[in-house]
Amino acid sequence: MAILSKDEAQALLKKVLSYSTADECAVSLNGRNTGNIRYARNSVSTAGAADSVSLAVESRFGKRSGIATCNEFDDATLKRCVQRAEEIARLAPESPEYMPLLGPQTYLAPPSAATTLLTATTRAQAAAESMALCAAKNLTAAGFLDGGTRFQALRNSKGLEAYQQSTNTDFSVTVRTADGRGSGYAIGDATDPAKLNAKVLTQRAADKALGSVNAKAIEPGKYTVILEPAALMDGGDLSLLGGLLYGLDARSADEGRSFMTKKGGGNRKGEKLFDERITIYSDPMNAEVPGSAFDGDGLPTKRMSWVEKGVVKNLFYSRFWAEKNKQTATAFPSGFVMAGGTQSTAELIKGTAKGILVTRLWYIREVDPQTLLYTGLTRDGTFYIENGAIKFPIKNLRFNESPIIMLNNIEAIGRPQRLAGCMIPPLKIRDFTFTSLSDAI
């Protein structure tokens, strides 16, 4: 029963609500039907599948709230789950951040999910093709293919009703030369798995692996870099761009503990913090990265401008913080779109006199939350560019850089590509700070 239709889900939630004796009650159903395959050393290592639905019940008495969950759906279990939420609520302390449940909302209808998905057999075929391509060239592949369908349905005692279904498939592969002297990486994701070609991505990773053998050491220092989208957004909040975007939180800024904090108090919303070519927004209706129609509270998502021509236009406000500060609450998006130009990565390389092409960044950690300084390393394909062409592979480097400084040092912005549920362009940045060399391949 993993993927329930809107009618099936709402009928079940309506029944659960009918058991409630609380002042307010909110119920939600989450379900997924997903599968994965993992391989390494040109051989399958594990494969798995998850087919599950779960129900969460939040009961409220005044400002006291309790949540209980279950994953069986007979009437007795459902009743017990509601009773348990009510018992927990009665014992809970009053929440000083209590917000009443939302009433009925109007939602956008993002572009529909894919209808044909991968199966265990087609996943195994894709993995086999990826491995065969590498084995034929005496290369070693390690990859992970994961995806499926998910749904979420919400309903509450104030009349809110919401339902959405989504599909997603993710693939990543690291290809290494047999002697371990070269390594390449490629990653992709898609709403419709037909648009994700594991073979093409494996070929890209294989080319980078072969091209990165015999890497030369260069002196650490400030360099012009071309960061491919994977170097900007792979890793969610633990990525250079993700760390910045997920950190646009009004409360931590207002409290004085964020890079968005204003000296003397308040936050820096409305200030120009970046190069004027930087524009970042979210849009659930984007055809290439359709987003969620609502957040976990049931708050509708809409097109939101986060950074426009270098100016921070919005911060994330929870319902509680928005009311306290007389602002509008923000439903956080499931993905971002960074506006870009028309140039491909290859074209950006052509226009570069001297610089470094970075495929991927790794083990990114915040060093100083005050300046959003991050450290991490290049990985799986780092190349020196001279006179508009890749000249030779270079050894990996550790960087210490803030995305705030980085987005002020823009030389060029390429054509956005889908990555991790976002549209991200390759960026050409000047004065990117590398602080040491690594022998890692």
| Of the candidate residues 33, 279, 396, 409, the single one contacting other proteins (CB under 8 A) | 396
In angstroms, the first-to-last Cα distance of the chain is 45
Q: Contact at 8 Å (CB) between 38 and 46? A: yes
> Does position 14 bind other proteins by CB under 8 A?
no
> Does position 159 bind other proteins by CB under 8 A?
no
**Which residue from 261, 251, 270, 244 is spatially nearest to 318, judged by alpha carbons?**
251
> Does position 47 bind other proteins by CB under 8 A?
yes
> Does position 87 bind other proteins by CB under 8 A?
yes
What the block records as the tokens of 49 is 């599948």
What the block records as the tokens of 123 is 């996943």
What the block records as the tokens of 91 is 């014992």
| Of the candidate residues 17, 69, 305, 311, the single one contacting other proteins (CB under 8 A) | 69
Stretch that binds other proteins, among 14-22, 107-115, 191-199, 263-271 (CB under 8 A): 263-271
Binding mask 191-230 for other proteins (x = CB under 8 A): ----------------------------------------
Q: Contact at 8 Å (CB) between 294 and 153? A: no
> Does position 276 bind other proteins by CB under 8 A?
no
What the block records as the tokens of 164 is 């959405």
**To the nearest whole angstrom, how small is the minimum distance from the Cβ of residue 353 to other proteins?**
27
Beta bridge partners of 59: 25, 66
> Does position 238 bind other proteins by CB under 8 A?
yes
Binding mask 166-195 for other proteins (x = CB under 8 A): ------xxx-x---x--x------------
| Of the candidate residues 19, 61, 246, 392, the single one contacting other proteins (CB under 8 A) | 246
**To the nearest whole angstrom, how small is the minimum distance from the Cβ of residue 125 to other proteins?**
9
What does DSSP say about strands 397-401 and 427-437: parallel, antiparallel, or unpaired? antiparallel
Q: Which is nearer to other proteins, 40 or 341 (CB)?
A: 40
**To the nearest whole angstrom, how small is the minimum distance from the Cβ of residue 352 to other proteins?**
25
Q: Contact at 8 Å (CB) between 350 and 388? A: yes
Q: Which is nearer to other proteins, 10 or 34 (CB)?
A: 34
Q: Which is nearer to other proteins, 306 or 321 (CB)?
A: 321
Distances (CA, A) of 96 to 5, 295, 314, 324, 334: 37, 22, 25, 12, 28
Beta-carbon contacts of residue 219 (< 8 Å; ≥ 6 apart): none
Where are the alpha helices (H) located in 239-359, listed in sequence order? Answer: 240-245, 250-255, 319-324, 345-350
Q: By CB under 8 A, what part of segment 324-353 binds other proteins?
A: 332-334
Stretch that binds other proteins, among 11-19, 89-97, 157-165, 305-313 (CB under 8 A): 89-97
CA–CA dist 295, 53 (Å, integer): 18
**To the nearest whole angstrom, how small is the minimum distance from the Cβ of residue 318 to other proteins?**
5
> Does position 322 bind other proteins by CB under 8 A?
no
Give the dihedral of Cα atoms 122, 6, 67, 53; nearest 10 deg: -30
What the block records as the tokens of 3 is 């993927």
Count the site residues for other proteins by CB under 8 A.
113
| Of the candidate residues 10, 252, 359, 417, the single one contacting other proteins (CB under 8 A) | 252
> Does position 376 bind other proteins by CB under 8 A?
yes
Q: Contact at 8 Å (CB) between 337 and 233? A: no
> Does position 233 bind other proteins by CB under 8 A?
no
> Does position 95 bind other proteins by CB under 8 A?
yes
| Of the candidate residues 11, 120, 194, 389, the single one contacting other proteins (CB under 8 A) | 120
**Gyration radius from the chain CA atoms:** 24
